[in-house]
Structure 1
Amino acid sequence: MKAGLNREDYLAWFKRVDEGPFHSLSCGERVHGPTYDMRALLSAAAIATSRVKITPTLYVLPMHSAVGVAKEVATMDILSGGRMEQICVGYGGRAQDYQAMGQSMKGRYQRMDDQVKTMRQVWAGEEVISGAGSIGPTPTQPGGPKILAGALGPKSIARCAKWADGLYAWSGNGEKHELANAFATADRAWQEAGRSEKPYRMGGFWYSLADDAQSRLYDYVYNYLDIAGPEIAKAMAQSVTRSNAEALREALDNAEAAGCEELFLVPATADLSEIDRLCEILESR
């Protein structure tokens, strides 16, 4: 989500993450702002890395063609050698992004239900258009990657419980109660939907360990949310404090105690020190 990054920056990050003690590499989607395209970056990561999983977090699915996303994901899965084992999809909350993509936010909840069904049809090799044949390529995993829902409220989580393989719960400051409440809501929703398996639990939060970390963390979150207005951006930027080793260890403990099975740490800067200093914390934890 940073401006001014170049090919060398991304190659350095891909290499350092792939060499580190990490499970997966991720990228989010946003239209406005200085962001690069999520799909292009993850395709590059699929080629440039050899070990870590490749996980989109997340596709704002109702802004896109379900068939197009299914084809992209299958392609990236093959390019990575089968390392795209799961993807995250969500509704998104930025009306401006929908507008820029020529899509309406109206009806996006039902649209995503239908889109997930279509994607799984594509990955299973079933026809979407009668008589036109299947749409390739075929993913390395039979039936395609698992699909996690990036949903927030109880109603959205309950809706996604009918088709999702798990929940991607976000807590900007890595708070235990926020993550635990989201996972408890998902457990209830899965049970009420008659699902026999429990939802996979993925979490995420913002951090920085770079020089002048707290100031840069504030600026990052403010700029990220500025599109929602200065009041919201300021409130969220003031709420994030994971900017030193002690604070980050606490957030990691929070996520573990909340039941996270996988956790994405989203750095506020493009400094490689974000990775190096994080590795030191993980090695000593």
Structure 2
Amino acid sequence: MPVMEPDLDRGTLKAWAQLIDGGAFSSLCWGERIAFDNPESLTLLGALAAWTDRVRLVTTVVVPQLHDPVLLAKQLATGDLLCGGRLTVGIGVGGRHEDYHAVGADPATQTMRQMAERVAVMKRVWAGENVTGATLPVGPPPVQAGGPQLVVGTIGPKTVRSAAAWAEGLAGITLDLDLDKESALFDVARQAWQEADKPAPHLATSFWFALGDGDEPRAQVHRHLRRYMNWIPAEVVDAMAPTTGWAGTDDELRTVLGRFAEIGADEVHLIPTSSDIDQVRRVAAIAEEF
């Protein structure tokens, strides 16, 4: 979903959701920020549950430290109910202190340990345990037994290993599309999940993309990064922009996706750098081949 693009409205968001749901895509994803003008993530979850029927809905990512864990568990269980058990919750620590400050959260909690502690509370809520001491436990129960599927949003081997205790897979990101690095991270995950005596992890990664000819796709990515990475000095973003994300033609994207398939990626989440729905139509035609 193009949630980090400017000037969004209901019609644009609904059109994107329905086109994705009706295409060859396996999931529909969107991210969370607080100190930004994007739609609020969990409110949007309710709308996406109503606008779609088939694809999995994937938060990439929700930051538990920005929420009360009991209320977040209730919100996500409600989302799972509304979408009929199609919810996958991508969870990460976030990369912006300003989001923590915006909701009065302590940036010192921006750690994998603090995140795992909140995940443990949510899992207890989803299991029906009365964690509040109230007359009744917090509900509703999620459609998926034990709660929505959980995947970790991370790019580091250490954090991948620590997430094996509670996650069912990865929802990472690659800035420079280094396939050797991604393949090595996938191997770390496979080994960590095996050592935790768990089924093989779901392996997903993501990258910013722009489709087109000539120099415009790269310029589109650059404009998006300038807007999205507004907490980073502009000159740093400008230095990153030529090699961050992916820009090119339909055939070139087809080739790139094939390479990710070769290293064992179960999914690639394409992060839009424009709200132009024609980008979705073009990717949909490519997705049909995988």
Aligned equivalents of 1:278, 1:173: Cα separation in 2: 20
Alignment pair present for 1:38 and 2:41: yes
Aligned residue type for 1:152:
I
- Structure 2 unaligned blocks of 5 or more: none
Partner of 1:93: 95
CA distance in 2, matches of 1:124, 1:229: 44
2:161 and 2:189 in contact (8 A); partners too: yes
In 2 relative to 1, CA 283–196 (structure 1 residues): closer, same or farther, beyond 3 Å? closer
| 1:238 aligned partner | 242
Counterpart for residue 28 of structure 1:
31
- For 1:73, the equivalent position in structure 2 comes to 76
Q: Return 201-210 or 172-181, whichever deviates more.
A: 172-181
- TM-score of the pair, normalised by structure 1: 0.92
Contact 1:242 1:251 in 2 (8 A): no
1:175 aligned onto 2:178? yes
Q: Who is 2:267 aligned against? A: 262
CA RMSD of aligned residues (A): 1.8
Equivalent position SS for 1:106? helix
Residues 275 and 162 of structure 1, relative CA distance in 2, 3 Å threshold? same
C-alpha separation in 2, matches of 1:250 and 1:95: 37
Distance in 2 (CA, whole Å) between partners of 1:166 and 1:218 is 30
CA contact (8 A) 1:203 1:262 kept: yes
Shift of 1:191: 4.0
Q: 1:283 to 1:112 in 2, by over 3 A?
A: closer
**Structure 1 gap ranges (5+):** none
For residues 151 and 246 of structure 2, what CA distance do their matches in structure 1 show? 27
Contact 2:177–2:246 (CA under 8 A) maintained in structure 1 = no
Corresponding residue for residue 203 of structure 1: 205
Aligned counterpart, 1:141:
144
Normalised to the residue count of structure 2, the TM-score between the two structures is 0.91
Q: Matched residues in 1 for 2:258 and 2:175: separation?
A: 15
Task: Give the direction of change, closer, same or farther, for the CA distance of 1:36–1:189 in structure 2 (3 Å limit).
Answer: same
Among the aligned pairs, what percent are the same residue?
33
Aligned residues: 283
The separation in 2 between residues aligned to 1:283 and 1:89, in whole angstroms, is 28
| 1:20-49 superposed Cα distances (whole Å, 9 cap, x missing partner) | 111111110112232111111221110011
Q: Deviations over 1:42-90 (max 9, x none)?
A: 2111001111111111101111111111111111111112221x21100
Q: Is the partner of 2:131 in helix, strand or coil? A: coil
